[in-house]
Amino acid sequence: MKVTLLAYTPNPADIAEISAKTCYSSKPPSEIEPTEDKKVLSNALLSGHTSVLEHAVFTFSIEGISRACSHQLVRHRMASFSQQSQRYVAMDDDIKSNFILPDSFERAFDFEGQNGMGWGSEGCLENFVKDYFIELHTLVERARKCGIPEEDIRYFYPNGMMTNIVVTMNARELLHFFSLRCCNRAQWEIKQLADSMLSICREVCPEIFKYGGANCEQLGYCPEVKSCGRKETLTKIMDGVKK
C-alpha cells in the first residue's frame, strides 16, 4: 500500500477559520484576516460546528489496496473516486503480484492445530498460492480464447486483487472517515489506509487534524456496542452511573 497526497486546499486552516469568522462578522470574507492561534477555529470545532471544514479539500493517490478494501472506502459517499478499471486494465499478466494476501493466511497455514488437524505443513501456503494462481491464470486465458470480453472476464477475479484509486474528500468528511476507520475494530486493511492518510493530514494541517482519529479519542468513551478495550462503552458507563 502506498498513500500520497496529490493536492490540497492551500492554507486549509486559514480557509476554515475565515469561514467560521464570516458567520459572526459584518466584514466580507475577503477582508477577514486569519490568526496564528486559530482560537476561533478551535472553538468552532470543539462546539461541533464542523461545516466550515468543508471548504478545504484533500486529494490522495492510493496504490496497491485490495478490491475488498476499496469496496469499503467507496461507501463513504461524501467523496469523489476515480478507480482503476478491471474492464480496460488487464490484471492477469502477473496475477500473483497483483494480489493482497492477508497475514491471517500465513498464520493459519503455519498453525498445525490439535492432533495435526490444522493446515500447517512446510511450504503449504506457498503451494496453495501457487496452485491457486496457476488455475486462475489458466481460467482467464481459456475464457479469453473463447471470446469472452474483458468486461466479463473480471468476474473471475477475487476481492484480493489490487487496485489503484484517486480519492478526494473535504476535511469534515476526512474526520468522519478517520473516526470510523481508525478504530481498532475496523477491518485491518482500511484501518492501515486510514492511519496513513491521517498521518499525512496531521503533517500538512495539524490545526484541523489534531482532532482526527478513532471516535473514542474525541468522545472519551467507545460508541460501539462492543469495545476493543481501549475505552468503556457508553452503555457500561451509564450502567455504572445508575448503580
Catalytic residue among 87, 181, 202, 230: 181
Residue 181 annotated in active site: yes
Give the C-alpha separation, 184 to 17, whole Å.
31
String of b and e for 61-95 (b: at least 16 CB within 10 Å)? ebeebbbbbbebbeebeebeeeebebeeeebbeeb
Burial of 47 (0-12, 13-18, 19+ CB in 10 A): exposed
Minimal CA–CA distance to 182: which of 154, 218, 147? 218
**What H or E segment, with its residue span, contains residue 12?**
helix 12-22
Q: Which are the catalytic amino acids? A: 181
